[in-house]
Structure formats: structure tokens, C-alpha cells
Amino acid sequence: MAAPTKAPSTGHPNPTTHLVDPVAVAIRTRTPEDPAAIGRFAATDPAPGLDIARLPRVARVLRDRRFQFLLILPNQIVFWLVIGIGVLGTAVPGLNFATAITWYLWFALVFVMMVVVGRAWCAMCPFGGFGEWVQRHAFWRRKGTSIGLGLKMPEGVAQYGFLLSVASFLLLTWIEEFFNIAGPGNPMSTSFMVLGIVGTALLFFLLFERRTFCRYVCPLSALIGSVGAMGSVAGFRTRDRETCLACTTKDCMRGDADGYGCPWYTWPGSSDSNAACGLCSECYKACPSDNVGLFLQKPLTSVVAPTRRRADVAWSVALLFGLVVYQQFNALAPFANLDSWLNAHTHFPQYPNPIDYLGIIVAVALVMAGVGQVFTRAFAHADRVPTSGGRTFVDRVSPFRTYFLPLMYGIIPVVGADYFARQLPKFFQHVTRVPVSVGHLFGVGSTSSALYKASVIGSNGGIIAVQVGVMAVGTLAAMWTSWRVAGRDLVPVSRHGRGVQVAAVSLAALLGAATIVLYVLMNAAD
């Protein structure tokens, strides 16, 4: 394989709470690294954990250029089957393979993967995979040219980070609710939705460089990047920081004959969470010093450990929490009355009215911001904020951000548990229809079969008990992370010391208790 004649550009650095990554900027502009980077990425960053790439068999798999192709291929086959069968198959949702596997199984599995692993889905995603194959005009071989315009995401847009992904997720969810796609409704609607995502991804891959779509626009990116912080895979990280800082080629970002360089614009030397590592292994293949490893970590490490809290992550958590609260509230009778009243007065044709949809989501996010403001007024010193090294100095970051960001990181387990619990009624009541839908493709599945009518958990009470259990675990995890995050980030800069930890833990407990009450009131509605 020939080396590329022109090194690919690296795109945009990770968003940070208040500073641009000087090393990432240096890489992008191909100038010597800023010496300030050495202090910025000092040993205060968390230890990366267990490097499984040291295992010979794992190393061989990661070195193989077919690694990600073989991860993506099965999902690619399934999702093209979903598109085709949704259009050509039976109109009965429970018998149609497209609707059955998408809404009864896939969505629940995605949440399991993100909570346990992190961005596992991104490593095998058929949407990004198909676009990347076209962009590189190769399934796995390293080529020095690409198809498309290769544009960069404008800095003015890229600075919003995950918020673009949240916006696309909110839009897609509203479309799904409006057309009752996940009801599930007409199987053709599921096919058109999946085809729309694939087409949008392909368009971005042809217009922009690398995985711009995955990093900034994909509807699931913000959800996986934030909730996936609970996962036990830290991603690809630098083994020895000094070796990484001294490297003059930065092949992990620019690419070389063996690897493309990180498609996600994530420099392994500055990564302190798994939020933006797509687990593609390109940086591992390209590193000339064998200084990149694949690290495992304790669960919740990427929630607690980051020393550079990201504002886009915090606001994404607040908005995503607003969305799942909306989905709980819309299962209650008062919401139906409100939505009908709004539709009648705005002449909107049907549920969901965009006013109450966006209104509830934004209201919850603003309540979270209000809580951050209350913490700021109650606890903040006027002249002290934390730095990445844990020191304090004269205010260079707004006190609101100083408190709001750690608080939102602390409640990530509650938000993650809430999304998972919301998928459980469909899974428990209807997942047995998936094998029936497969059998129907071969003429042996029908609505009269016992398996079609079966449920993993048949009673509403049993489903509610599991939902409450999931939320209880998520709440306890959020209380623990809030205690740890507040203890490190907020106690040193608060007037009342340990009081801010107690308040942060109380916030997590209150939110968890509120969601539990909603699940009881919903009575296992799907």
C-alpha cells in the first residue's frame, strides 16, 4: 500500500469548557506544539486503565485492516434487509422483520452496549460504515485518496459539539412520534426512516472529511457520547504521554501507510474520556511508536474522571433528560388533554404538537440550568474556580459553568437508566415476535403462533418493577458520581465545603425519585 501523497487534515479539536486544545490546534495547522500543552495535559489526567492491546491476539486483530469492516458487515446486511423488507414485506408490524428487530430488539441493545461499553455501536454502525466505504472507495484497504469534497466543518458550527447531534435526535424523535413509526406503525415508515439516515450520512461523507457526520450530526452521537461515559471501555489512549508529546509526525491524526488517522478528530494524547472515541483502531494502526493502546476502565470512570468538563456534554445531558421526561409525560392523561388543546388552538393536525414537545424538553433543560444557578448563588466564591490541575485562581470561567457542568455530568447515570427503562415495555412485551418475523420470511411465522402472543414479562406490575429497579440502580450510581465529581470539582471552590457534595447527591436522588414516580404512573405504557 502506498503512502498518501498528501496528509489528511485533522479537523477540529475536542470541545472543552473554556480552552481550545493547543496540541490539536498545532496538529491541524502543522506547526510545533505549544509548550503550554505539556502543562495542560499533565499527570493530573486519569490513568487510562488496563491496556488489552498488549495481548498478542488482540493486537493482531486491531492491526488487521479488515477489523472494522468485519464488525460493520453483519449490521450492514441487517439494515439493508430492514430497508427492503419494510417496503416489500407484510404490512403487519409484528410480523415484519424490519419493525420487529428495529423497535423490539435493536434500540434496547444499543442502550445496553452504550452503558456497558461506550461507543461500541459506533464501531459497528452501518450508517457511518456505508458512508465511509464510499468516501474511501474501499472496504478496508488503506488508500491515499478519497471521494468527495473533503470540507471541514466550520469552526463556528463545530464549537457546538454534541448540540448538533441533540438537535437531530430531537427532530428524528418528533418525526417518529408524528408518523407513529416506532409504534410500530407501517413497516414502510421504518424503512424510509432508516434510508433517510443512511442517505443523510452518505451526503455528509461526500461533502465533509472523515467522520464529520458521526462526530457532529448523527442523531445518536450525543446520546452515546454522554451516556456511554458510564461504559467500561476507555477507548484508544496514549501509553506514554511524553512519547506522544515529543512525536513530530502525529500520524495517529494525520495518517500514514498503515492507518487513516483518527476519523473522529480525537488526539489520543489528550483524551480523558471515551466521549469521542469511535473504537475504529486507525490511530492504533498509524502510530509509528506503538504508543497507542486500547484501555479498559472501571464503570463510570469517564463520568467522574475528566478534568476538562465540556459544556456541550452538560447541555446535551440536560436536553436529553428533557426528552425522556417528555416521553414519560406523554403517556399520562394530562398530556393528552394538553396536546389536544394545543392542536385545536394552533390548527395542528395531530399529536405531538411541536409547542408542547419542544416546550417540555426546553423547560426541563432550563430547570436544570436553574438548579445550576441556585448552586452558584448558594455555594460559589466570587473569585475562585477550578483549573484542570485542581488549583484555584481569579475567575476566568463563569461561576455558572463551574457548577452547572459538574452537576450535569453527575446525573448522567440517571439519564442513561431513564432511557433504558423507557425501552423495556416494548422489549418485554414483544421481543418474542422477532424470531416469528424471521420465520415469516420463510413462510412459517404467523400471528396465531404461541411465540407471537408470548411475553418475556406478561404483567404490567412485573415490567414496572424492573423499570423501578433499573432507575434505582441508576439513581444510586448518579448519587455516587455526583459525590465524587462534586468532591473534586466543587468542594475546593465552594463556600460551604462538603455541603455542596450533599446538595449534588440530593439533586441526583430527587431526579431519580421523580422518574420512578413517573414510571409507576405510566403503568408500563410503551
What's the pLDDT tens digit per position in 61-113? 999 999 999 999 999 999 999 999 999 999 999 999 999 999 999 989 998 99
Strand partners, 358: none
- pLDDT attached to residue 496: 81
Residue for grid cell 394552533: 346
Q: Find the mean pLDDT for residues 310-324.
A: 97
Mean pLDDT, range 379-386, rounded to an integer: 64
Rounded Cα distance between 127 and 203, Å, is: 11
CA distance 259 to 287: 8
- Residue 12 above 50 pLDDT? no
Would you give the distance in Å from CA 387 to the centre of its chain?
A: 26
Q: Yes or no: say if 181 and 41 are a contact pair by the CB < 8 Å rule.
A: no
Q: At what angle do helices 162-178 and 187-207 cross, to 10 degrees?
A: 160
Mean pLDDT of 315-337: 95
Residue type, 429: Q
Give phi and psi for 462, each to the nearest 5: -65, -40
137: DSSP letter: T
The Cα 187–Cα 86 span in angstroms is 5
Decide: 22 and 40 in contact? Cβ < 8 Å: yes
Residue pair 350/394 in contact by the 8 Å Cβ criterion: no
**Residue 120 is placed in which grid cell?**
461500541
Total residue length of the chain: 526
Nine cell digits for residue 3: 503512502
> H helices then E strands: how many in the chain?
26, 5
Q: Between the CA of residue 454 and those of 104, 113, 459, what are the distances in Å?
A: 13, 26, 11
128 Cβ contact list (under 8 Å, min separation 6): 122, 201, 205, 211, 213, 214, 218, 278
pLDDT of 465 > 60? The answer is: yes
Mean pLDDT of the chain: 87
Give me the DSSP letters along 418-487. Answer: HHHHHHHHHHHHHTTHHHHHHHHHTT---TTSHHHH--SS-SHHHHHHHHHHHHHHHHHHHHHHHHHHHH
Is the pLDDT score of 244 beyond 90?
A: no
494, β-bridge pairs:
380
Lowest mean pLDDT among 216-220, 247-251, 407-411, 437-441: 247-251
Locate 399 and state its grid cell: 461561576
Task: Please report the pLDDT score of residue 385 as a whole number.
Answer: 53
Q: What gap in Å lies between CA 358 and CA 251, rounded to an integer?
A: 43
Closest-CA residue to 411 (of 369, 459, 465): 369
> Which residues are paired to 295 by β-bridges?
51, 235
Separation between Cα atoms, residue 196 and residue 175, nearest integer Å: 12
SS3 state of residue 151:
strand
Q: What backbone torsions phi and psi does residue 422 show, to the nearest 5 degrees?
A: -70, -25
Question: In angstroms, rounded to a whole number, what is the distance separating the alpha carbons of residues 289 and 170?
Answer: 42
In whole angstroms, what is the distance from residue 483 CA to residue 475 CA? 12
Tell me the pLDDT band of 393, cut-offs 50, 70 and 90.
Answer: very low
124-129: average pLDDT: 94
Q: What are phi and psi of 498, to 5 degrees?
A: -65, -20
Overall average pLDDT of the 477-506 stretch: 93
Torsion, Cα of 518, 519, 521, 526 (10° steps): 120
- Written as nine digits, the cell of 240 is 506514554
Distance CA 403, CA 425 (A): 36
Beta carbons of 222 and 169 less than 8 angstroms apart: yes
HEC readout, 358-392: HHHHHHHHHHHHHHHHHHHHHHECCCCEECCCCCE
pLDDT tens-place string over residues 356-365: 999 999 999 9
pTM of the model: 0.88
Q: Is the pLDDT of residue 3 over 60?
A: no
At 53, which amino acid appears? A
pLDDT band at 415 (very low <50, low <70, confident <90, very high): very high
> 270 pLDDT band (50/70/90 cuts)?
confident
Q: How far is CA 206 from the centre of its chain?
A: 23
Residue 193 contacts by C-beta under 8 Å, 6 or more apart in sequence? 172, 175, 176, 181
> Whole-angstrom Cα distance, residue 161 to residue 80?
30
* Residue 521 confidence (pLDDT): 96
**What is the percentage of the chain residues whose pLDDT exceeds 70?**
88
At residue 13, the pLDDT reads 37
Rounded Cα distance between 273 and 233, Å, is 10
